[in-house]
Amino acid sequence: MITPLMAELTQDLSRSELNALVTAIAAQPDRWRHLVRTEGEDRHYEELWRDAHVDIWVISWMSGNDTGFHDHDVSQGAVAVVAGELVEEQLRIDGTSARRRHRAGEAFDFDASHVHRVLQDADAPAVSIHAYSPPLSRMGAYTVAEDGLLRRASISYVEELRPAAAAA
């Protein structure tokens, strides 16, 4: 727990506050380093903090890990990359995508309507700190069905995000 870093909050955080929060936590590795797991091939996610207004996660990424396209339902968020690098991709209506590479020391934030996928395409593991406000309860996972229509499946925040199979 990070109780000395933050007391129980009294309201949800803005995007800029979330960005400042993940940046501050990233600068204090003694608070989260024990949750990093870089063995195996799977992505590991560990909850660092949760209260009524924010939840914070430490995610360890191996090469090839991919969340698939998703949203965070009603939660806005921020991510600080603390080791390695991650790629964030957003779909465009024309079927192309916008890609941004985020390297260690960088942070980015997004609103609740943001649909993206995050992937790790480098050989070395990556580690990131994520914060969401209000805390995640549900997310939307997206896939393109065989008929070409975009489908959204609502999933619990405790389910692992990964590329969704095409809907039948």
Averaged pLDDT for residues 108-119: 95
What are the tens digits of pLDDT across the range 87-101?
999 988 787 789 999
Helix spans in 27-152 (H)? none
Domain boundaries, the chain: 15-136
Given 2.60.120.10, 3.30.450.40, 2.40.50.660, 3.30.70.420, which CATH number is that of 15-136? 2.60.120.10
Please give the residue that has the higher pLDDT: either 29 or 161. Answer: 29
Sign of the CA dihedral running 137, 49, 35, 86: positive
CA of 22: how far to CAs of 145, 147, 150, 167, in Å?
Answer: 35, 40, 32, 35
Q: What is the pLDDT of residue 76?
A: 97
Question: Looking at residue 64, what DSSP letter applies?
Answer: T
**What's the token pair of residue 75?**
């939660």
**What's the token pair of residue 101?**
């590479």
Q: Is pLDDT at 20 greater than 50 in this prediction?
A: yes
Q: Is pLDDT at 5 greater than 60 in this prediction?
A: no
Q: Of 104-108, 109-113, 159-163, which range is least confident?
A: 159-163
Alpha-carbon distance of 108 to 130, in angstroms, equals 10
Averaged pLDDT for residues 149-161: 82
Averaged pLDDT for residues 6-19: 87
Averaged pLDDT for residues 44-49: 94
Q: Is pLDDT at 168 greater than 70 in this prediction?
A: no
Question: Looking at residue 11, what DSSP letter applies?
Answer: S
- What is the side-by-side order of every strand in the sheet holding 55-61? 44-50, 55-61, 126-133, 76-83, 107-110
Q: Residue 115 in contact with residue 70, Cβ under 8 Å?
A: yes
Number of other residues whose CB lies within 10 A of the CB of residue 11: 11
